[in-house]
Amino acid sequence: MSVRLGYGTNGLTDLRLDDALSLLADLGYEGVGLTLDHMHLDPMAPELAARTGKVARRLGELGLGVTVETGARYVLDPRRKHGPTLLDADPDARARRTELLVTAVRVAADLGAHAVHCFSGITPEGTDGDIAWKRLGESLAPVLDAAERAGVPLAIEPEPGHLLATLADFHRLREQLGDPELLGLTLDIGHCQCLEPASPVECVRAAAPWLRHVQIEDMRRGVHEHLPFGDGEIDFPPVLEALSATGYQGLTVVELPRHSHAGPEQARRSIEFLRTVLPDRAADPAKGV
């Protein structure tokens, strides 16, 4: 198996979506992590189905695969980053986040995406942990129902500082919900370096049965900062060898959301770096990297 590389549109927010997609195809990426946000495919604006159809056609023309990502900072609340969450005390607020994720599942189905990414959110101050986990499960239930109807996996991401922060937390949720077939995992390689007790290589191997989406960037231990390749501490060749060995067939998406000011250059540098750590691609340029 070989690793299929993508780049996240949350690192290309200064580009029009069509320009971003064309750039990635020209650079040799095989897919895109498409964040639903106001500057690209806005999930809150009118005529979403028609706009989604246009994007689907363009992805097809360019030969790009896609994962739908839902980490837009202010798409629901212009004053509160990532708000509202699935854990908010206000049930109406939680319902707004659930509705966004259900919309994302519909968009993903229309795009032919291989997964929908999401995360839990930060536990509100003063909220008991058991209550937060109960809210998370209840909030995700309609999303999982939509995912089952659409046949699109939901890939929840362990995020530093969130209720669901680690692989162990993912398994707690999975078991709490009765191990639903459509609940999978987004594994962020940098997050593994940042806070998991196991190494990134060990995390990849442990996560293999549930992998539905992978994000990749460099990072340092104990510091949640997405870094360009080479600026952190991760030894990438064994990580990518382990990922390839799992048989995972989805996208591995470069995640540099704070580097949009230099997005095109970072996209180019990232794929050039990845050529050096994927020897099969370096030896055969026809494979797309």
Q: What range does the domain containing 71 cover? A: 4-287
pLDDT in tens, 135-188: 999 999 999 999 999 999 999 999 999 999 999 999 999 999 999 999 999 999
Of 2, 22, 234, 30, nearest in space to 114 by CA: 30
pLDDT in tens, 78-119: 999 999 999 999 999 999 999 999 999 999 999 999 999 999
pTM above 0.85, yes or no: yes
Place of tokens 């987004």: 186
Residue 209's H or E segment, with its range, is: none
Q: How far apart are CA 241 and CA 65, in angstroms?
A: 21
**CATH code, domain with 172:** 3.20.20.150
Total domains present in the chain: 1
pLDDT in tens, 231-275: 999 999 999 999 999 999 999 999 999 999 999 999 999 999 998
The rounded mean pLDDT for the chain is: 95
**Sequence-distant (≥ 6) Cβ neighbours of residue 187 within 8 angstroms:** 157, 158, 203, 204, 207, 211, 213, 214, 215
Antiparallel, parallel or unpaired: β 65-69 and 31-35: parallel
